[in-house]
Amino acid sequence: MNKQEFLDLSDDKLLNLIKNGDIPRHIAIIMDGNGRWATLRNMPRVMGHRQGMETLTDILRTSCEIGIGYLTLFAFSTENWKRPAYEVNALMALMAEYIERFIDELNDNNIKITVLGDINPLSQLLKNKISDAIKLTSKNDGLRLSIALNYGSRAEILNAVKRAAEDIRKGNVSLDDLDEVRFSSYLYTKDLPDPDFIIRTGGEFRLSNFLLYQAAYTELFFTGSDMMWPDFNKGKFLNSILEFQRRNRRYGEINTEQGS
């Protein structure tokens, strides 16, 4: 489904359509294309990331409005450290700014914040803001907002294997007891259901080391290259959920109506 296939309807009409179908419990988003969005407009790449912050706010508000239970955002990968230092520093500063600007609104909307990944390499300022945000929202029971920050799925899986092996070595867990459910408890996402739906903007058609283990039966949605994250507004988000509702999730079972 590309940009041309989106329904040209008002947000209210899209909302009414969505309410007639199943709402995905857990949506994960790869927010791609910020830098390219800015470059196409002859602007510094950081301006694309700044505009992406405004998109994020729109998507968060919409997620609360339609009753999404879990929203996971790929904010910064373990591979993103390879980018120029000025861009990495700008990204970190924007994250700190975003938390400071919107934490009260997030808390007022009953959003609970968690972080997936290793935040130890981050600046002390950003770590403090993240810690304060997690503490402030810890008792909230609305939308669970998980921010994948310095996150890489392969590193997550490898870390889980090491932790499981250590528990087996210590006798805390037997090898025979290590099934999929127990192994999942060693992942960063141990308190989250697997995502029902992963959205990627920006025109790339891959997961880029994001939730590889958890996405075994996730529905995937990729926008075209003409839709970068800063352009992914409320209407585009609602349209993507409509696409999710059109799909038939069989989990390996046979569709008796279609015989497949």
- Alpha helix locations (H) across 171-256? 180-184, 234-246
Task: Give the pLDDT mean for 186-207.
Answer: 97
pTM for the complete prediction? 0.93
Task: Give the pLDDT mean for 216-237.
Answer: 95
Task: Give the pLDDT mean for 242-251.
Answer: 88
Q: How confident is the model at residue 256 (pLDDT cuts 50, 70, 90)?
A: low
Which class in CATH covers the domain with range 23-152+194-246? alpha beta
- Cα 22-32-108 angle, rounded to 5 deg: 60
> How would you class 74 by CB atoms within 10 Å of its CB: exposed for 0-12, middle for 13-18, buried for 19 or more?
buried
- Residue spans of beta strands (DSSP E) within 17-143: 26-30, 70-77, 112-116
Percent of the chain with pLDDT over 90: 88
**What is the maximum alpha-carbon separation in the chain?**
59
CA-to-CA distance for 180 and 164, rounded, in angstroms? 12
Segment 66-103, tens digit of pLDDT: 999 999 999 999 999 999 999 999 999 999 999 999 99
What is the reported pLDDT for 254?
Answer: 61
Residue 80 annotated among the catalytic residues of the structure: yes
Segment 137-192, tens digit of pLDDT: 999 999 999 999 999 999 999 999 999 999 999 999 999 999 999 999 999 999 99
- The yes-or-no verdict on residue 9 having pLDDT over 50 is yes
CA-to-CA distance for 197 and 238, rounded, in angstroms? 13
Domain chopping of the chain, boundaries: 23-152+194-246
Q: Which of 8, 11, 20, 32 is catalytic?
A: 32
The larger pLDDT score, comparing residue 226 to residue 193, is at 193
Q: With beta carbons less than 8 A apart as the criterion, state whether 106 and 135 touch.
A: no
- The yes-or-no verdict on residue 1 having pLDDT over 60 is no
What is the reported pLDDT for 224?
Answer: 87
Q: With beta carbons less than 8 A apart as the criterion, state whether 24 and 18 touch.
A: no
Q: Which of 80, 107, 140, 209 is catalytic?
A: 80
- Give the closest residue to 214 by CA, choosing from 171, 180, 176, 248: 180
Mean pLDDT of the chain: 93
CA-to-CA distance for 183 and 161, rounded, in angstroms? 8
